[in-house]
Structure 1
Amino acid sequence: MCGIAGEVARGRPANLAAVAAMTDSMVPRGPDSSGLWAREDVALGHRRLAIIDLSSHGHQPMHDPELGLTVAFNGCIYNYAELRRELLGKGYRFFSHSDTEVVLKGYKEWGDRVVEHLFGMFAFAVAETDSGRVLLARDRLGVKPLYWSDVVDGNGAGALRFASSLPALVAAGGVDTDIDPVALHHYLSFHSVVPAPRTILRGVHKLPPGTIMAIEPDGTRIEKTWWEPVFERSSERDGWSERDWQDAILASLRTAVERRLVADVPVGCLLSGGLDSSLIVGLLSEAGQHGLKTFSIGFEAAGGEEGDEFKYSDVIARHFDTDHHQIRIDTARMLPALSGAIGAMSEPMVSHDCVAFYLLSEEVSKQVKVVQSGQGADEIFAGYHWYPPMAHAADGDPDDALTRYRAAFFDRDHDATNALLQPSWRLDGDVAGQFARAHFSHPGADTATDRALRLDTTVMLVDDPVKRVDNMTMAWGLEGRVPFLDHELVELAATCPPELKTAFGGKGVLKEAARQVIPADVIDRPKGYFPVPALKHLAGPYLDLVRDALHSDSARTRGLFDSGTVNSMLNEPNGNLTPLRGNPLWQLGLLELWLARHVDGAALA
């Protein structure tokens, strides 16, 4: 939907040229307009995707001289109309109908606690003109990204820069682009997830979800987590029956879907044919979205694995009479698209369906500017295969629960990770395992299943599926909205007894609720995933791409991976899949391809 950028300098004026460079690098995120604002040591930049009428909603960065505030905002506040009425009642004057101005006035009224009043997805920066104080904020589930970096200019003066994408920070220069060895171990162990605040680059960080960072006038930084879900049973729901839970969850999801219809343009839906996206289509139909545009994508089969689920998406399209579009991708089109998908990644993302979302978004953006999708349901309602075994973990023993979780989710253990790396990149401590153990031991989750769900909801979901959808849709100026990540729905689901969620092979309570809306043959089908077989069964030009990346001059110079191990993997490229059925060779190749594009390429620019 948008991209924001900025600099808070120390001991010198803000570098407006650097902010402009960051803003210019994010044109795909906001192709319709741009703006810059600067005052002494603070500068803000903005790129905008117009899903509303700009003439009535104002331009960004938005400056209010009466309040002495300026904001650069990325996202969508679904309750902005209610907040606007409330603030009007408190005497505030409005000059637009935008959620951006609501954030500005809301900050004046509530200060840092404005975030608690906002329902939606957002990342923003508010600057106080007189004091120079700046507040950075990110939404509860991290749907909208926010990266930051400390930089020092040639005269030794420092600054904090921030942007909606990591490559935008690199584009402005002055960033330490060395590999963070701890992040590298996370990437190779924790299924390519690098938890906040780290990124794969030592000099770039990301604000965690549900977090604010205040940069005070004296340069002091104060970071605070302002939201986290509690995975415990609620006394007020002790007497609920299974049907009570189903009805409450369906009502909450219905509200979430309706909230995300706010736009001055038609809203479409990505329809995979699975339970989650099918249910959203059904609820959109209930909400009066007749002739809804729906989109499905499929690939050529490879390694005996089918590359599409059209037979299921067709059932939903017919049932709700949608304006349905099947997008079929052959190798001739997919292989070149990999370069674009990697270029769109703010961080290296190994999930095969990145290129699927990239190509899907390209086609969808030709017809609509806003889509809803079903990401998040598996993490919120226990749809993955590793949740049911958690119920058998020893009571109150986080180590037993963690062992079960790691066996299902981690790509490799600590020893195998070290064996994959050259000696200079090996670590003594199992950093990924220690991170997961700390999460499992943290209070606020009743059972082993709750602990796994909390870790996946607050970390894995944010830095894999959610980031994937944001990056790939925004590459084409398409806004993706995710009803399953409505924070009220997430809070409700977190209190739901885990056995109701893990029932019927996972997402039991959601499946039973969905029977009120969508056909049973879609609900009772075997669970599917967004398949891109050619990246799972590497052969031909895809294998050549990976081999060339791992044998490139820049890869040799970086010296991340043990050459003997890499050559063994290349000799048998499909012989050993990860526990999540991914190709470990693609994981290595993707990292080198991403570094070549975003680090090596930036250095040559």
Structure 2
Amino acid sequence: MCGIAGINFPDRNLVAHMIQQITHRGPDDCGVVVDDVVSIGNCRLKIVDLTERGHQPMSNEDGSIWITFNGEIYNASSLRMELEKLGHTFLSDADTEVIIHGYEEWGLNVVKRLNGMWAFAIYDSEKKLLFLSRDRMGIKPLYYFFQKDTFAFSSELKVFATEKEFHRPILVEGLLEQLIFSFNPSSYTILDSVYKLKPGELLIYYLDSGSIWKHKFWNNCREKNGILDLRYLLRLIDEAIRLHLIADVPVGCYVSGGLDSSIVAIKYAENYEGMLHTFTVGFEGGNDEREYGRTLADFIGTNHHELVLNGEMVAREFDTLLYYYDLSITDPAFIPNYFVSKLAKNYVTVTLAGEGGDEVFGGYDYYRYLYFAKQIGLSLFIRKFVPEGLLLPILNKNDKLAKAFYTIKNEGKLKHFITGYLTLLPRTKLVKLFSIENFVPLVDEPATPADIEYMPELDQRILLAENYNYKADKSTSAASLEERVPLQEYHLVKYVNSLPMGYKLNLREGKVFLRAILYSYLPELAKRKKYGYGTPIGTWLRNSLDAHLESAIQQSRKLSFIKEGSIEKIYQKFRHRSATQNELAFLWNLLIIIGGLERYGYLYS
């Protein structure tokens, strides 16, 4: 885990200050390199090669190529041996140096040789370019600013919200996206002229011409012609876990008693040679997973650590939490992640987590409902013969049914398909809140079909990469901790994505592969229904955060695209305890977005 930043002009103080704002990502070492053309910086959390030889930014032998790198390359050892045979000399054991020599040998195609999570920028002084890349699954974030003659990049959005050289007005479309989805599913952000590099994407900034070229080097969609082989799948999972345990620092594991984290934890215990540490968080007034985490920890024999989170703890650190939310996401699960990461940092520097299990292995309920509706012909019938007006009274009362209806109606129309099922509230309620009758998200994923069969792939590129991976990165880096997600290892993902949806779920449950694996170890956990964190946002909003929520609602009146009185109606339903879970999530979303804008001093009209 590191923080990276850079600009296309010489200014040591500016880049040093950009890095200073994100030193929580890498408190062990910092560096800045400046020449007549660019300035790049890095703050490093030491994971592999703890010596000064791993210092960044790092260069090749003659200083013509420099890199600032965030992430881990799990196949660095095999790549190093290959490059040494090709005549390259290494001065460190850091995986960073493998990328430099790989770039010298293979050029831009180096990204196709890497297995890991990364966000990096390479400065090639001879070719006069900056080469940026983000890993296939979007595990590590990378933002860039581009306007006229200025180009800059950073691991976090806050850098562009605070530095006067980049301080930009709010992008209304980006703000609207966040209010509707709780994150930005597109490459746009809440700030004008600041963008996200997409998963599996590389970008070249040509320093002479000031132009940009982007290219997607990986597509997670596969023909559904894979052959089901559970032994091969288990080998892929085992290998992914082993690779993710490579570190020169202690490694732990988050557990909740759910399928994903349980399998990761079991394989962690089977393969890790150091002291075993597991971590679980529970809530006062909410879903408490500690009992199941304890069952798992006892079974695999770890040093188990627990945290109980309450609203007062959240209120005390609310301003700090807004800072780390980074104007990018609003997921309430960020908060337990943040607090349990602070606990874990007392014992380890790296943690494993089960993030990605739902999107890769078919865990969401809506996969099952929509898939089997299509199999029996119900989807086709609805699209052809059921007009919206006929069901409007029902759709107005049932959020889940409304989202399913609009998803089915828009199969084949990507942007409307995404809006159908990924929005916090269904279209029936969105049109009452916002002046958005013609709103279309800025999503640009033409390589992914708007097809129910491919919903996991779509969620991997959007929901997982642009929301949950951001949540994991920002909440753990805030505690100077690195989270690794072995269920997103790309060979594993590639294989599972080649299997038809019907292999991954049945009428009763999803993730049938993972459930079968866990059943052979702990049947009582394998039989559990999916719950998730169950963060008690309702309790927090009514008690410890009630003043913050009231303030956010008052401030939201300044947003011209919100219809007068519409949010107050939801707030009154919340006060009378008649709000739906989706409406409750929308109020939380509003609180974090408005709070973040205030935290960074933005005024809006």
Superposed CA deviations along residues 363-387 of structure 1, whole A, max 9, x for unmatched, are 1111111000011000111101110
From the superposition, tell whether residues 6 and 390 of structure 1 become closer, same or farther in structure 2 (CA, over 3 Å). Answer: same
Q: Report the secondary structure of 1:17's partner residue.
A: helix
1:249: which partner in 2? Answer: 233
| Structure-2 separation of matches of 1:331 and 1:482 | 28
What amino acid is aligned across from residue 480 of structure 2 in structure 1?
Answer: G
| Structure-2 separation of matches of 1:103 and 1:478 | 23
Contact 1:285-1:320 within 8 A present in 2 as well: yes
Contact 2:121-2:133 within 8 A present in 1 as well: yes
2:224: which partner in 1? Answer: 233
Contact 1:388-1:502 within 8 A present in 2 as well: yes
* Structure 1 position 118, deviation (Å): 0.6
1:155: which partner in 2? Answer: none
TM-score (norm 1): 0.88
Q: After superposition, where does 1:81-480 map in structure 2 within 5 Å?
A: 81-150=77-146, 158-189=149-180, 191-216=181-206, 217-234=208-225, 237-238=226-227, 240=228, 244=229, 246-289=230-273, 291-301=275-285, 306-391=286-371, 392-393=373-374, 399=409, 401=411, 408-414=421-427, 416-421=429-434, 426-427=435-436, 429-432=438-441, 435=443, 442=446, 448-480=451-483
Superposed CA deviations along residues 304-330 of structure 1, whole A, max 9, x for unmatched, are xx3311121111011111100111123
| Structure-2 separation of matches of 1:165 and 1:42 | 19
1:6: which partner in 2? Answer: 6
Contact 1:410-1:579 within 8 A present in 2 as well: no
Superposed CA deviations along residues 34-84 of structure 1, whole A, max 9, x for unmatched, are 000011121101001112343264211112252610111111000101111
Contact 2:570-2:579 within 8 A present in 1 as well: no
1:515: which partner in 2? Answer: 519
Q: Report the secondary structure of 2:109's partner residue.
A: helix
User: Which residue, out of 545, 548, 553, partners 1:545?
Assistant: 548
* Structure 1 position 346, deviation (Å): 2.6
Q: Report the secondary structure of 2:317's partner residue.
A: helix
Give the stretch that moved more between structures: 284-293 or 308-317: 284-293
What amino acid is aligned across from residue 334 of structure 1 in structure 2?
Answer: V
Give the stretch that moved more between structures: 45-54 or 28-37: 45-54
What amino acid is aligned across from residue 457 of structure 2 in structure 1?
Answer: R
What amino acid is aligned across from residue 4 of structure 1 in structure 2?
Answer: I
Contact 2:144-2:151 within 8 A present in 1 as well: yes
From the superposition, tell whether residues 112 and 328 of structure 1 become closer, same or farther in structure 2 (CA, over 3 Å). Answer: same
Q: Report the secondary structure of 2:51's partner residue.
A: helix
Contact 1:69-1:126 within 8 A present in 2 as well: yes
TM-score (norm 2): 0.88
From the superposition, tell whether residues 566 and 449 of structure 1 become closer, same or farther in structure 2 (CA, over 3 Å). Answer: closer
What amino acid is aligned across from residue 192 of structure 1 in structure 2?
Answer: S
| Structure-1 separation of matches of 2:90 and 2:61 | 13
Contact 1:20-1:45 within 8 A present in 2 as well: yes
From the superposition, tell whether residues 290 and 51 of structure 1 become closer, same or farther in structure 2 (CA, over 3 Å). Answer: closer
| Structure-2 separation of matches of 1:415 and 1:522 | 38
Unaligned 5+ runs, structure 2: 384-407
Contact 1:535-1:542 within 8 A present in 2 as well: no
Contact 2:32-2:40 within 8 A present in 1 as well: yes
Q: Report the secondary structure of 2:365's partner residue.
A: coil
User: Which residue, out of 585, 594, 604, partners 1:592?
Assistant: 594
1:50 aligns with 2:46: yes
| Structure-1 separation of matches of 2:466 and 2:357 | 15
Contact 1:338-1:355 within 8 A present in 2 as well: no
What amino acid is aligned across from residue 117 of structure 1 in structure 2?
Answer: R
From the superposition, tell whether residues 506 and 57 of structure 1 become closer, same or farther in structure 2 (CA, over 3 Å). Answer: farther
| Structure-2 separation of matches of 1:114 and 1:599 | 41
From the superposition, tell whether residues 599 and 207 of structure 1 become closer, same or farther in structure 2 (CA, over 3 Å). Answer: farther
Superposed CA deviations along residues 153-176 of structure 1, whole A, max 9, x for unmatched, are xxxxx3101000000222322335
Q: Report the secondary structure of 1:173's partner residue.
A: coil
Q: Report the secondary structure of 1:335's partner residue.
A: helix
What amino acid is aligned across from residue 239 of structure 2 in structure 1?
Answer: T
Superposed CA deviations along residues 483-517 of structure 1, whole A, max 9, x for unmatched, are 0111111111101121121224111122113334x
Superposed CA deviations along residues 16-46 of structure 1, whole A, max 9, x for unmatched, are 2221121110010011110000111211010
What amino acid is aligned across from residue 545 of structure 1 in structure 2?
Answer: H
From the superposition, tell whether residues 583 and 444 of structure 1 become closer, same or farther in structure 2 (CA, over 3 Å). Answer: closer
From the superposition, tell whether residues 466 and 192 of structure 1 become closer, same or farther in structure 2 (CA, over 3 Å). Answer: same
Q: Report the secondary structure of 1:54's partner residue.
A: coil
| Structure-2 separation of matches of 1:40 and 1:417 | 50
From the superposition, tell whether residues 341 and 16 of structure 1 become closer, same or farther in structure 2 (CA, over 3 Å). Answer: same
Contact 2:424-2:585 within 8 A present in 1 as well: no
* Structure 1 position 205, deviation (Å): 0.7
Q: After superposition, where does 1:574-593 map in structure 2 within 5 Å?
A: 575=577, 577=579, 582-593=584-595
What amino acid is aligned across from residue 128 of structure 1 in structure 2?
Answer: D
Contact 1:107-1:113 within 8 A present in 2 as well: yes
Q: Report the secondary structure of 2:602's partner residue.
A: helix
| Structure-2 separation of matches of 1:560 and 1:400 | 25
| Structure-2 separation of matches of 1:284 and 1:58 | 26
What amino acid is aligned across from residue 249 of structure 2 in structure 1?
Answer: V
* Structure 1 position 589, deviation (Å): 1.5
| Structure-2 separation of matches of 1:408 and 1:121 | 28
| Structure-2 separation of matches of 1:211 and 1:291 | 37
* Structure 1 position 430, deviation (Å): 2.7
1:18 aligns with 2:14: yes
| Structure-1 separation of matches of 2:6 and 2:591 | 33
Q: Report the secondary structure of 2:438's partner residue.
A: coil
RMSD: 2.5
Contact 1:188-1:412 within 8 A present in 2 as well: no
2:387: which partner in 1? Answer: none
1:499: which partner in 2? Answer: 502
Q: Report the secondary structure of 1:262's partner residue.
A: coil
Aligned length: 568
From the superposition, tell whether residues 332 and 491 of structure 1 become closer, same or farther in structure 2 (CA, over 3 Å). Answer: same
Give the fraction of aligned pairs with identical amino acids, expressed as a percent: 28
